Chain A
Amino acid sequence: GQQLNQSPQSMFIQEGEDVSMNCTSSSIFNTWLWYKQDPGEGPVLLIALYKAGELTSNGRLTAQFGITRKDSFLNISASIPSDVGIYFCAGHSGGSNYKLTFGKGTLLTVNP
């Protein structure tokens, strides 16, 4: 089946630093999604990407849909303590297929 490799698994950074994480796939996706999960909560959608090469921002977050359609990255600029959580990528292959394929997540810790 489809698999997503998400890296890094975890990151420890200082407040104010920029962060970058990425996902790669062995197969093509038509949609890439990035979620954040706070401790004790469910994942919340941050950014959705629909076209190869698309670059989309949401505040301090920027995500890109790779040209090959097999990868995506998420950048967080000027990190703050509330950025702490687990970030997941998810891909969708398109059509009426309802399944999302999720990465294993990146655990982000921000030291004040």
Chain B
Amino acid sequence: ETGVTQTPRHLVMGMTNKKSLKCEQHLGHNAMYWYKQSAKKPLELMFVYSLEERVENNSVPSRFSPECPNSSHLFLHLHTLQPEDSALYLCASSPGTGGHTRYGYTFGSGTRLTVV
């Protein structure tokens, strides 16, 4: 399998649930990203990992907790979310934190999250 794969594609969770989003890239990239996409808003950068080290936490609430066990895998752990957290969560990767200027990010298909 190639590219960036995200699972699940759709997730409905209650405000007291704990769930995790998974992202896997098969491109040999060193940097991975979590973005939030809400209607009528620009893509919002949430977290950046470079070689498994977090280099950016863009003022994201602590109810979102990222994990990057290796350069191919990225998780987003979710707990006690709010309805306004419902959105499309996109994972992306790039050759390096500067390398994306040549090729852009490669995005996954996203996880459509609904918090009820």
Contact = CB atoms under 8 A, between A and B. Distances in A.
Contacts of A98: 31, 48, 50, 55-56, 94, 97-98, 100
Contacts, number: 64
Among B43, B90, B94, chain A packs the most CB atoms within 10 A around the CB of: B43
Interface string B40-72: 111101001010000110000000000000000
Contact of A100 (B90, B105, B109, B110): B105
Contacts of A96: 97-98
A101 B110 CA distance: 19
A104 interface: yes
Contacts of B100: 92, 98, 100
B110 A30 contact: no
B48 A48 contact: no
A42 interface: yes
B110 A42 contact: yes
Given A40-B109, A42-B108, A42-B109, A92 B101 contact: yes
Nearest to A86: B37
Nearest to A9: B40
Interface in A66-112: 88, 90, 92, 94-105
A63 to B, nearest CB: 13
Contact of A48 (B90, B104, B108): B104
Given A4-B42, A102-B43, A104-B42, A95 B98 contact: yes
19 contacts: A30-B101, A31-B101, A33-B104, A40-B109, A40-B112, A42-B4, A42-B110, A45-B103, A48-B104, A50-B101, A92-B100, A94-B101, A96-B98, A98-B98, A100-B45, A100-B105, A102-B42, A103-B42, A104-B41
